[in-house]
Structure 1
Amino acid sequence: MKMGKQIGSSLSVLTVSDLARSRQYYREVLGFDVTDWWAERDGLNGMALKLHQAPEGFTPVPNPPEAGADTGVDVQGYTDTWAGLDSLYEEFKSKGAAFAREPVVYPDFGPWKEFVVEDPDGYHLAFGGIDGARAHASIEPRIDAGIVWVRDLERAVERYGKLIGMQAREEDRYGHLHLFRLDNGTSLMLDSNGMESVPVRENGAPQLKLSTHDIERAKSEALQHGFEIALDIQRLPSVSYFNIRDEDGNVLTITQDIHSS
């Protein structure tokens, strides 16, 4: 039996001459979430990098331009619409980013619109996209966050953090709500605003779906972290799943895809 998706994301590795300087640039100018492990914008499935300090005597070597091009590209990012691309450009420009190429439209490729940012070591990050059929809609076709209403925010943050194996960070707390920034670029939002007098729901449909590679272990861990089993493990030919409920009546489905060997 083969497991489900085994590669969740990938990161480009950039060797930099001054790690502190690069981290500051990516955080303050390009708006990346920078940690000791990576720098990412819009989650690990957005644009994700690893910044490594170059050893003494080594000079970073960005990619050269391909044949017929004037600018090399080290990391390529994609946007769904030109409106999103233009917004990103204006954000970077307002924060003093260096541009190796201003926005340009290539009519023969979609058309394709792109600009290129340069980091302190000369690495080039290209951002581009095709303004396709979705350009008429102002709402983007993606879910930014799943919202779970809770009564005791501190307790819920601790419980959900353990469930999904993520540490709660102070910078992700916004008053009455807390964000867990998930690996696929979405967020889990726990919100306690105005929940003190709201009764706990006794029955409800699942609000979120999470995946696991070991459904028996997932059930055991959910129980350990204070969730109750709302529906025990169901086994179908292509998927197994069970439902859990938190103390606020929120129901989540945990699934494991089954692949034939």
Structure 2
Amino acid sequence: MGKQIGSSLSVLVVSDIARSRRYYREVLGFDVTDWWAERDGLNGMALKLHQAPEGFKPVPNPAETGADTGIDVQGYTETWAGLDSLYEEFKSKGAKFAREPVVYEDLGPWKEFVVEDPDGYHLAFGGIDGGRAHNSIQPQINAGILWVRDLDLAVERYGKLMGLQVREEDRYGKLHLFHIDNGTHLMLDSHGMEEAPVTERGAPLLKLSAYDIERAKSEALQHGFEVVYDIQRLPTVSYFNIRDEDGNVLMITQDLVSF
């Protein structure tokens, strides 16, 4: 059996949920929906914002012994360059800081700053400056890009295939950006594709995971994808390949053992 817990969310009870949603969206740059507020996907910093019942006042965490500021949510950044960029972004949007950036030399060194939200909750952002700190390219894959001809059709099909919400604010002209739970994105791009020929054969461009390989195959067919390589079963993994009407090939896998 593969990984069973994909992510976790911190729950914050807030006094005015509309105000909190606005703050997290406009000041801290979170993607805010009716279900959660997240930045860099559900494996980045993800929160549940719950409206406090009448008469209840939110109670942020107290400071631990010897500290001056309590922490309710802790975020980690890969480099100080990324941390500094985040600080400048928050500052430019009027964020309130409970602690300005400080370096703790005996902890790595560790650099950190703390943001305060409208209810007094403290969100700490920090990290250790490692060997990658001076690289201009981060060791992450930010997005997968698929070229498509009919953007509306492709958005509908991929939204159904992956169970993703289709939102107007994620459409940028001839491009649509899906926000994936692990912090990456799926970009469907139709710029200049009207007359481009369909690729007849190709290697998989993306790999997606499934909980049930047979059900995944059935769903893919139901959503209009073509199975170009049927289910293969190995001791540790099962997989098959599908293809869309634009020639994009995806591999669907199910891990059979935990690593």
Please classify the TM superposition score into its range, dividing by the shorter chain length: over 0.9
Q: What secondary structure is seen at the aligned counterpart in 1 of 2:48? A: strand
Deviations 1:199-254 (A, max 9, x none): 11111000000000100000000001110011000000000000000001000000
Shift of 1:131: 1.0
2:257 is matched with: 259
Choose the corresponding residue for 1:125, options 115, 123, 126.
123
SS at match of 1:195: coil
- State whether structure 2 residue 70 is matched by structure 1 residue 72: yes
Who is 1:15 aligned against?
13
1:136 match: 134
What residue ranges of structure 2 are gaps of 5+ in the alignment?
none
Provide the C-alpha distance between the structure 1 equivalents of 2:52 and 2:246, rounded to a whole number of angstroms: 49
One-letter code aligned to 1:202: E
- State the match for 1:178 in structure 2: 176
Query: In structure 2, what is the Cα distance between the partners aligned to 1:226 and 1:17?
Result: 45
**Post-superposition CA distance 1:155-211 (Å, at most 9, x none):** 000111110011210010011110110100001110001111211111100000000
Using structure 2 for the length normalisation, give the TM-score. Answer: 0.98
Distance 2:170 2:26 in 1: 17
Structure 2 equivalent of residue 196 of structure 1: 194
* Percent identity of equivalent pairs: 84
Mapping 1:201-240, distance limit 5 Å: 201-240=199-238
Q: Conserved in 1, the CA contact under 8 Å of 2:81 and 2:134? A: no
Q: Distance in 2 between matches of 1:213 and 1:5?
A: 10
Tell me the residue number matched to 2:82. 84
Aligned-partner Cα distance in 2 for 1:58–1:162: 40
Tell me the residue number matched to 2:110.
112
Unmatched 5+ stretches in structure 1: none
Runs of 4+ in structure 1 displaced over 3 angstroms? none
Q: What is the alpha-carbon distance in structure 2 between the residues aligned to residue 184 and residue 116 of structure 1?
A: 24
Tell me the amino acid that sits aligned with residue 23 of structure 1. Answer: R
Partner of 2:156: 158
Instruction: Please report the TM-score for the alignment, with normalisation by the length of structure 1.
Output: 0.97
CA distance in 1, matches of 2:235, 2:228: 22
Structure 1 Cα separation of the partners of residues 164 and 32 of structure 2: 16
Q: CA RMSD in A?
A: 0.8
Mapped to 1, the partners of 2:92 and 2:135 lie a distance apart of 26
